Structure 1
């Protein structure tokens, strides 16, 4: 017997329509490239999205077209999220931090029918034009007064002029909820970038899940500032989640240095933020140097790569609760988040610190499997390690334009490439990436734990651990460090710092000190490049005992 419930599709447009109706005066604040603040409301944003959708039609764009964006977090970028997807097209957010050849590949592979770019990315587009067979129409996301005056590109269109010429009152289509609304490519650390195509249904369900108390814990009283860029997995769903609950939205634009982020947080009363560890490390260091505190910030989600426990403690000292999280482009991205259970109340501080270092428990809707090399499920004992596989309604079932993908060849499960443990309560801890594990004498040594310990040393700013060949053991861990300004540390001091924290055979045998570590465009350590430098003899001499 079928139930007698209305069959109303889950569409992203319903989110902003709801916000405009019931949180009409709630602000959306954007920091513009010149540092000025732009203020609008959900009601005004909804009206502008209608004009944008009409403008897209007038440009000859049609349902199913991919519309590329090269833009920071701003009110115009937010309008594209809703105006493009709601009109039946696909908002293709492009990471401008990738190599130009990768961006050109992504634009060509996606078949973008138009490109919407911030003014600051016009020079990048000029370089990309030489790599593309044909450049689609380009719309600069600004007003007439701030349009570029000199460019080698063909005629550029002005975003605000297009909206001014478009009629109000777009007739939003009632799409099938499985219609694609967004596209984001992986960073391509191995091979070419791969496209993940999100549906209206997956975007809405993901937003509903992350709003819950054990994840982002958002409400109409929240002031949300996504520092994670809107070109990085839809800013972890926050452009959908904040309007869904009617939270004030603060968009920081291109200025992500410690001084700019802290000032904006304080000026706008930000209570919640989210971003990758590298950004927060710079903010915390700046605050320490300046003697600053947080007046309103209460909750912080950190993901993208493992968060060192010392960073969690530094935020806690400022009265900020850190929610450690894990996800991927293929999981929309949130898969697990770390908040304590009732049984954890009153735990000793050391035990709580150990718990908070884990990535967390699965969100409802995400199922996990952890298997060994033979495909057998490993014990949930917090010790046994295995490869993590996931499935769920906001997990990709394949890559855009790619029929054969090994990661999806597991009977409906996606193989993440992460090596993890899971404890009896379901808390996942990422031990390493499959390709980054150090295999020493037949045993696996996880690099992430070694990096986290090193980062707790007061002289260390950032750490990476990679495998280096060893005649006796096959591989041994090499510690690569970036030190705090004016600091120095000997190998004997680092070895002593590890002593008692891990088994002696896991302690790195040598260390290298460098000025900086390579990162991917999304802020993750690029260990493949470090390994390449090691093989090529491009690292400084190693310090050993």
Structure 2
């Protein structure tokens, strides 16, 4: 027997349709520095999206055309999020913080033909453009006057504002197979060249619905989300899709927002949910402590962190200001949300339709008992099943499951607790040491602002831990070891402590332990 249900495709354009028809008058804001804080409604977003799509013939954008963005969290970028995939083209969000070589690799692998870019990021593109033979059009967001011409005779430069002004908006967006590609994102490439993940319309819509469901993230149309996670990386954790679907108020912080600017936005635009990585939350805390902003955190109720487990000291500071911390886990490969916790821990339950398991080194499935550790593997309709034209695919999957590279335990109630990355575990004298647990304990010391622990080679013990710390005051190595020895085995204590003004981070704000190991090998710290 066949179903009697309508066969309607799950398309990104359907998310926008819902917002512009059901939540048309809901007001969002794009905070754009010199251009000021610009309010827009979902009716405005729909109109601009249809008008921009009307200009695609001029840009040679057709079904399947790859369109790159090098852009901040702005209204224009949000328009691109919908206009490009809604017409069947493929949006490639490029993280401008990647190295030039990685940007070239990603854009070449994606076969980008059009680039949408914020004016202040043009130098990033100019640096790599001679190596990008397929790019034919560059569309500039923001002020166009005074921008030097692009140094290429084969590339045409356009003004986004002018394109919108001249375009005839399209009426209905086309329909096509929901498994068609909607967007591309590359991993941050901390252990080699970045790997490409191609999301489908179906996976994007299902992910948006999953993070809107109660019991998980529960994106709520009655709430206001300050979105500091980069829209250039993993769909800004899915909020630009789920937030639009739910009609939530989105507060986009604009071009290169500083901690002080984020505090200003919080004061004037009164979001109640802050979405970002722990590193940004730390910078805001530092700025607040230097120049306290009266009532600046009064509107905030929830700090949604991801990327890595938040340190308890940071969680406690925000709690003292009336802000509770929630935490999510995921990867570029998982769109990215996989698990979510309403407690500030590094574990949470899987989202609906997201399956998890842990396996041992022989690939045997391990029990969910809360203490047996293994490699975390996952599968879901929004988890990638391969990488974009990459021979590393074979090693990343196990019988239909994605190997995450995380060491974890799963509790009987389904809560996943991440212990460490497989590559970051330290094996000393045949015993395992968790770098994450060492970091968390170090962060409990009152003088430690940030901490990262890496393994370094040792003639006798194979590997030993070395801690990198950023401090707020004077403290000796022995005092730090005494602090750790109160709760950790003696052989876990770091052999040395590297005091730095800044701990290396990746292009998405995570600890860059590959870089730390390189600096250690080169004896420059």
- TM-score normalised over the length of structure 1: 0.92
Verify the 8 A CA contact 1:31 1:74 in the aligned structure 2.
yes
Deviations along 1:381-412, whole A, 9 cap, x unmatched? 33222111110000001112236513443111
Deviations along 1:323-374, whole A, 9 cap, x unmatched? 111100000000111126xxxxxxxxxxxxxxx3232111111111111112
For 1:243-262, list aligned pairs within 5 A.
243-262=244-263
CA distance in 2, matches of 1:147, 1:230: 26
199-208 vs 299-308, greater mean Cα deviation: 299-308
> Pairwise CA RMSD of aligned residues?
1.7
Deviations along 1:402-449, whole A, 9 cap, x unmatched? 365134431110101111122222222221111111001212111011
Verify the 8 A CA contact 2:24 2:43 in the aligned structure 1.
yes
Deviations along 1:13-68, whole A, 9 cap, x unmatched? 11111111111111221111426112211001101111111211332211011100
CA distance in 2, matches of 1:507, 1:119: 48
Verify the 8 A CA contact 1:481 1:512 in the aligned structure 2.
yes
Deviations along 1:221-251, whole A, 9 cap, x unmatched? 1111210010010000011011111111110
How much does 1:134 deviate?
5.1
CA distance in 2, matches of 1:147, 1:210: 42
Verify the 8 A CA contact 2:190 2:506 in the aligned structure 1.
yes
Task: Give the count of matched residue pairs.
Answer: 521
CA distance in 2, matches of 1:96, 1:425: 40
Secondary structure of the residue that 1:310 maps to in structure 2? Answer: helix
206-215 vs 324-333, greater mean Cα deviation: 206-215
CA distance in 1, matches of 2:470, 2:401: 38
Which of 427, 430, 450 matches 1:439? 427
For 1:32-47, list aligned pairs within 5 A.
32-34=32-34, 36-47=36-47
Verify the 8 A CA contact 2:117 2:138 in the aligned structure 1.
yes
Which of 294, 303, 318 matches 2:297? 294
**Residue 406 of structure 1: aligned partner:** 394
Verify the 8 A CA contact 2:216 2:341 in the aligned structure 1.
yes
CA distance in 2, matches of 1:143, 1:535: 45
**Residue 364 of structure 1: aligned partner:** 352
CA distance in 1, matches of 2:30, 2:354: 33
CA distance in 2, matches of 1:260, 1:212: 32
**Residue 29 of structure 1: aligned partner:** 29
Cα distance change of structure 1 residues 512 and 402 upon mapping to structure 2, 3 Å threshold: closer
**Residue 352 of structure 1: aligned partner:** none
**Residue 8 of structure 1: aligned partner:** 8
**Residue 199 of structure 1: aligned partner:** 200
**Residue 190 of structure 1: aligned partner:** 191
CA distance in 1, matches of 2:435, 2:516: 13
Secondary structure of the residue that 2:131 maps to in structure 1? Answer: coil
Verify the 8 A CA contact 2:59 2:114 in the aligned structure 1.
no
- TM-score normalised over the length of structure 2: 0.96
Which of 459, 466, 471 matches 1:478? 466
CA distance in 1, matches of 2:237, 2:419: 22
1:392 aligns with 2:380: yes
Secondary structure of the residue that 1:237 maps to in structure 2? Answer: helix
**Residue 329 of structure 1: aligned partner:** 332
How much does 1:143 deviate?
5.2
Deviations along 1:128-162, whole A, 9 cap, x unmatched? 12333454311111355x46145534541111111
Verify the 8 A CA contact 1:407 1:416 in the aligned structure 2.
no
CA distance in 1, matches of 2:209, 2:21: 18
Which of 288, 309, 312 matches 2:312? 309
434-443 vs 371-380, greater mean Cα deviation: 371-380
Which of 527, 532, 539 matches 2:513? 527
**Residue 151 of structure 2: aligned partner:** 152
CA distance in 2, matches of 1:460, 1:110: 42
Secondary structure of the residue that 2:325 maps to in structure 1? Answer: strand
Secondary structure of the residue that 1:63 maps to in structure 2? Answer: coil
Verify the 8 A CA contact 2:53 2:170 in the aligned structure 1.
no
360-369 vs 212-221, greater mean Cα deviation: 212-221
Show structure 1 runs of 5+ residues with no match: 341-355, 540-545
**Residue 511 of structure 1: aligned partner:** 497
CA distance in 1, matches of 2:135, 2:66: 14
